[in-house]
Amino acid sequence: MSPKAERTGAPIILASTSPRRAALLAEAGIAFEPLDPGIGDASEEELAARWRALGIAPGAVAKRLAVAKALAAAPKKKTGLVLAADTVVALEDRTLGKPRDRADARVMIELLAGKTHEVTTGFALLDLATGRLEADSETSRVSFKKIDEATLEGFLASGTWAGKAGAYGVQDEAARLLVAGVEGSRSNVVGLPVERVRALLARVALALVATCALAGCPGKTGSGLKTAPFDDGLITTAVTTPKIDVKPSDPDPNEPFVPGVDEGQPSHGLPEMTLTIGDKKITVELATTDPERHVGLMNRDSMPEDHGMLFVFSEEGRVVHNFWMKNTRLPLSIAYLLDDGTIRTLDDMEPLDLRTKHQSGEPCRLALELNKGWFKIHGVRPGDKVQGITPELLATGE
């Protein structure tokens, strides 16, 4: 049966030749139609190498490649929701693609042995009826065992390294010889963060249902595809998936909304401002009250590049702070700031990590959260200053 969206009849099209992604969607009960986007491994490697040479982070590279695949597949279909993905394996500053041969696979596995690396999958969803696009990425951390020569030879003899970024597939029996543990989404390491994709489909379905209620469901366009500009940030879309109901109590997206910590919803509509770090401008939401700070960036599935949240505490809140990642699905980096904007400490935070407390080290009343790796990518260190912190801003902390 063709996967039809309940309200628009739009099929879900998987723009991928990966049997692993197809299996993940099938196991999740998400019906789809497979389609080869027509971008070969050589083209992917060339694009990835070019972007990494420009200093673009692995997550952004994976996201760009996913978008490229979605757009390449678009002319082959007239209607539907195109889902595309790409997975990047990175160890520190080095990105590992698919091995050319057994010797190349050996080099990759030897490089990963005894270390922890990151696996990032970018994913994109394109609505062919409107040309609107949403893209995001998920990062997991994989730890490898120390590997002796006999183990390495046994793994290489299995041949399961072929066609896989980083020369291994965590789902393969042979990979048990290598992998010590996975932190984060395991399906993401396989090739598609299924829960994030499911959440994306559910979220955008709500947007389309609301659109249908106000203006009627869109029909077939019958014209050429026009896509929204892609700038590595979040591009809002309106698509739909089956069996998604809108509750009358859903908050108005145009009004400020701060849910309870355990309500499973993100806050939205908070005031925003622009700050500057070095020559880079960032847009931050302001969390200035206890409810806003407690929810923070919980229950969000994406955040645009160069966006974040600034936590502003009152003078009474000038204490040693310990941030953690309860209900927070986004990998983040945090900076604790002095009143003049000077960065005192920097730390990376893993999604849903309830064990690690990220401490400020000294009393402060400002904390800045951005996408994980932002500070490192832009060469920001403790002692650098965030411009735009004013007495008027500090006075907003309650």
Catalytic residue numbers read 86
Strand 33-35 and strand 12-15: pairing? parallel
Q: CB within 8 A of 177, min separation 6: which ones?
A: 145, 147, 151, 154, 155
259 close to 267: Cβ distance less than 8 angstroms? yes
Question: Cα(318)–Cα(315) distance, rounded to whole angstroms?
Answer: 5
Question: Cα(284)–Cα(105) distance, rounded to whole angstroms?
Answer: 42
Could you tell me the CA-to-CA distances from 232 to 135, 196, 304, 306 in Å, in that order?
Answer: 8, 18, 7, 10
Question: Cα(349)–Cα(356) distance, rounded to whole angstroms?
Answer: 8
Tokens of 97: 């693609």
DSSP 315: G
Question: Cα(340)–Cα(342) distance, rounded to whole angstroms?
Answer: 6
Tokens of 273: 């401002």
292 close to 280: Cβ distance less than 8 angstroms? no
CA angle (309 as vertex; 253, 341 as ends), nearest 5: 150
CB atoms within 10 A of CB 368: 24
Question: Cα(196)–Cα(140) distance, rounded to whole angstroms?
Answer: 13
Question: Cα(46)–Cα(9) distance, rounded to whole angstroms?
Answer: 37
- For the four alpha carbons of 139, 302, 25 and 59, in that order, the dihedral sign comes to negative
Residue 343: strand, helix, or coil: strand
Tokens of 16: 């991928």
DSSP 78: S
- Cα torsion for 197, 236, 132, 84, to the nearest 10°? -20
CA nearest to 202, candidates 232, 234, 237, 227: 237
